[in-house]
């Protein structure tokens, strides 16, 4: 083919395939980076949300003399009729619209349902936040405030500064259970929660396979 008196060679099929492959690789890298960035952003937004929830719950208790009921957290923080007490001085909480849209369910690491009703408040991944006041700890197998296992083992208990627990299942949508007992593996707590020899990695599935390699990505208010 000539243009302006000069011959120009077109692309060969191999060259076109190489270009397409390069574009595909770059697109894949960009997609992975974007997903990781989105998960980090959701982590941060969920942490901010749980901090706001903690403050709202404590303000509720200071007026009402008790913590909200499990399964009724949003209703009691925002509606006097749900709280059913003249001491109520709320609303104690305002949420963005997307945090009122619970689209998915969380499960335990075996894929089964959790033995607790989620609140009508979504985390950054569209799954419910779980709230357990201390009066319900026995029912859900949560021990009272305790110092962590000095050895940092995977069954360490954690000191909870509050009289309630808030849990988000994180990006994998799963919370570890030991029978009926909650045993979340918190993200970024500086401990080796799953016993794989590494402190809180940010991964979707941890290292390897099986119960000793579960991901450490739950958010809690410890």
Report whether pLDDT(4) > 90: no
Question: What pLDDT shows up at residue 124?
Answer: 93
Question: What pLDDT shows up at residue 181?
Answer: 79
In this prediction, residue 212 has a pLDDT band, given cuts at 50, 70 and 90, of very low
Report whether pLDDT(136) > 80: yes
CB of 49 closer than 8 Å to CB of 123: yes
CB of 102 closer than 8 Å to CB of 95: no
Total Cβ atoms within 10 A of residue 215? 23
Instruction: Write out the two tokens for 126.
Output: 């569209």
Mean pLDDT of 119-138: 92
Q: Is 74 left (phi over 0), alpha (psi -120 to 50) or beta?
A: alpha
- pLDDT tens digits, 55-65: 999 999 999 99
Instruction: Write out the two tokens for 142.
Output: 């949560």
In this prediction, residue 21 has a pLDDT band, given cuts at 50, 70 and 90, of confident
CA distances from 13 to 2, 19, 21, 23, 131 (A): 20, 10, 12, 15, 59
Distance CA 90, CA 53 (A): 13
Question: What pLDDT shows up at residue 106?
Answer: 94
pTM as predicted: 0.72
Question: What pLDDT shows up at residue 7?
Answer: 53
Distance CA 185, CA 52 (A): 21
Q: What is the DSSP string of 158-208?
A: ---SSSEEEEE-TTTTEE-EETTEE---BTTSSS-TTSSSSS----SS-SS
Total Cβ atoms within 10 A of residue 14? 8
In this prediction, residue 152 has a pLDDT band, given cuts at 50, 70 and 90, of very low
Question: What pLDDT shows up at residue 145?
Answer: 47
Q: Which of 101-110, 118-127, 162-171, 197-206 has the lowest mean pLDDT?
A: 197-206
Mean pLDDT of 93-114: 90
CB of 121 closer than 8 Å to CB of 93: no
């Amino acid at each position: 083919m000539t243009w302006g008196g000069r011959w120009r060679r077109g692309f060969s099929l191999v060259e076109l395939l190489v270009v397409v492959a390069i574009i595909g690789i770059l697109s894949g890298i960009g997609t992975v980076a974007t997903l990781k960035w989105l998960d980090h952003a959701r982590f941060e937004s969920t942490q901010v949300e749980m901090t706001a929830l903690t403050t709202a719950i404590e303000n509720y208790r200071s007026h009402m003399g008790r913590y909200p009921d499990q399964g009724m957290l949003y209703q009691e923080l925002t509606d006097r009729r749900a709280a059913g007490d003249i001491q109520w001085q709320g609303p104690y909480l305002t949420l963005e619209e997307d945090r009122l849209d619970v689209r998915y369910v969380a499960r335990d690491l075996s894929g089964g349902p959790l033995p607790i009703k989620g609140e009508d408040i979504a985390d950054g991944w569209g799954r419910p936040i779980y709230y357990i006041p201390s009066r319900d700890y026995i029912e859900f197998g949560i021990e009272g405030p305790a110092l962590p296992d000095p050895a940092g083992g995977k069954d360490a208990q954690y000191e909870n500064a509050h009289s309630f627990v808030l849990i988000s299942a994180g990006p994998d949508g799963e919370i570890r259970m030991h029978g009926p007992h909650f045993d979340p593996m918190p993200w970024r707590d500086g401990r080796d929660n799953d016993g794989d020899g590494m402190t809180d990695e940010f991964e979707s599935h941890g290292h390897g396979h099986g119960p000793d390699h579960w991901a450490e990505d739950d958010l809690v208010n410890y």
